[in-house]
Amino acid sequence: MAERLPAQALPSWRRAVLKVGSNLLAADGGGLTPRHARAIATFIGDSHAQGRQVVLVSSGAVAAGRALLRERAMPGDDLAARQALAALGQAPMIALWQALSPRPVAQVLLTHDDLRHRRRYLNARATLRELLLLDVLPVVNENDTVAVDELKLGDNDNLAAIVAALVDADLLLIASDIDALYDADPRRVAAAAAVPHVPLLTPEVMAMAGGSGSAVGTGGMHTKLEAAVKAGAAGVPTVLFDGRNTDTVAALAAGQLHGTLFDAPRSRMQARKYWLRHAPAAPGSILVDDGAARALAGGRASLLPGGIVNADGEFHRGDMVEIVDVTRRPVARGLCQYGAAEVRRLAGKHSSAIDAVLGYSYGAEIVHRDDLVVLAEIFS
């Protein structure tokens, strides 16, 4: 169906989250097939060659698990059965992507709790950031084997949107078995028209989703629009395209989209900085010397332990903390990688000494520049 859609420029991006649905990976006879995954893996490799980073959110584990048991009595459809199938299918799903990737593949399983608790959120964020620095392809999925129904993320469309915000992605790519958003269900309405561009996700646009879903997955068009809303709130635009069409997938590497583009209401940086500026701060602060204050005010530096004089009050790893200069003027604020007691022990030390001082390390930065917003200019 891609011929119905005009080519449009893909938004500029350096880091993207790519979600691949079950229908693209499940073989007709069960199990997983590289039929459509091969072109997607080529796109990931081409993007990497262009200096870009991709985090893959892949469905398919339950379908793979079900196929492995096709010679036996199938389990029921309760939560425990689905969790067992997911556990069984994770290995072949990861093996599929590793077979198609020239780079190492790392499995990252997340739960709702990982994303709502600050310390675990920060740990997941740090792990994914480190994997990208190591030139590894992270393959993310929900940890179905330990999730409970009331806390399940539910579908990988919404998980992908959350991961896009988690890793500060510039773009969310959703590979589906439909080539675009339509103003009616194209499988039922012959005159349904594709919608190439959605500047704003209004209730009228959401109503276009109808109730269509996937035969082997948990998502439908509605969850894709929900994902676009979540990603847009984090300043991340979303694109929907047909992952079965090799020409459509190949065009992405050339910056051309044959699908639907969902704009974000504001840029990723605007959304991130707005949240960092206005999120409630912990009852405490980090006192820095003049050199660190000037470096932070430039907007491109992380806060390292060597520039810290002291830490006041009590705060914990993952808390929003205010950073002040020696006159107690607020300079910046951000998510702290260490608690107040740890910061006091590290004050004035070199980053290389963190492990020796604490016996462990959460990274060289006390506050990473991606998790920091400048509040004041420091003049010479």
The DSSP string of 206-263 is HHTTTT-B-SSSS-BHHHHHHHHHHHHHTT--EEEEETT-HHHHHHHHTTEE-EEEE-
Round to whole Å and give the CA distance between 314 and 171.
37
The tens digit of pLDDT for each residue in 285-314 reads: 999 999 999 999 988 899 999 999 999 999
Region of residue 137 (phi > 0: left; psi between -120 and 50: alpha; otherwise: beta):
beta
| pTM > 0.75 | yes
pLDDT of residue 217: 42
Strand, coil or helix: 265: coil
pLDDT of residue 153: 56
The closest of 212, 267, 268 to 240, measured between CA atoms, is 212
The closest of 209, 206, 204, 175 to 192, measured between CA atoms, is 209
Round to whole Å and give the CA distance between 144 and 189.
36
Give the residues of the chain that fall short of pLDDT 70: 1-4, 29-30, 71-78, 113, 116, 144-154, 211-219, 376-380
Cβ count within 10 A of residue 340:
23
Pairing assessment for the beta strands 308-313 and 284-288 based on DSSP bridges: antiparallel
pLDDT of residue 144: 61
Cβ count within 10 A of residue 195:
17
Amino acid letter, 138: P
Cβ count within 10 A of residue 369:
18
Round to whole Å and give the CA distance between 247 and 35.
14
C-alpha distance across the termini of the chain, in Å: 60
CB 305 within 8 A of CB 341: no
pLDDT of residue 73: 57
E strands along the chain, which residues? 8-9, 15-20, 53-58, 105-110, 137-142, 171-176, 181-182, 194-195, 197-198, 238-242, 256-257, 259-262, 284-288, 308-313, 320-324, 330-335, 372-374
pLDDT of residue 82: 77
pLDDT of residue 299: 82
Round to whole Å and give the CA distance between 292 and 114.
32
Round to whole Å and give the CA distance between 59 and 22.
5
Amino acid letter, 224: K
The tens digit of pLDDT for each residue in 141-180 reads: 887 666 544 435 557 898 999 899 889 999 999 999 989 9
What number of CA atoms fall less than 13 Å from residue 114's CA on the CB side?
Answer: 23
CA angle 69, 73, 75 (to 5 degrees): 80
CB 335 within 8 A of CB 367: yes
The DSSP string of 81-107 is HHHHHHHHHHHHHHHHHHHH-SS-EEE
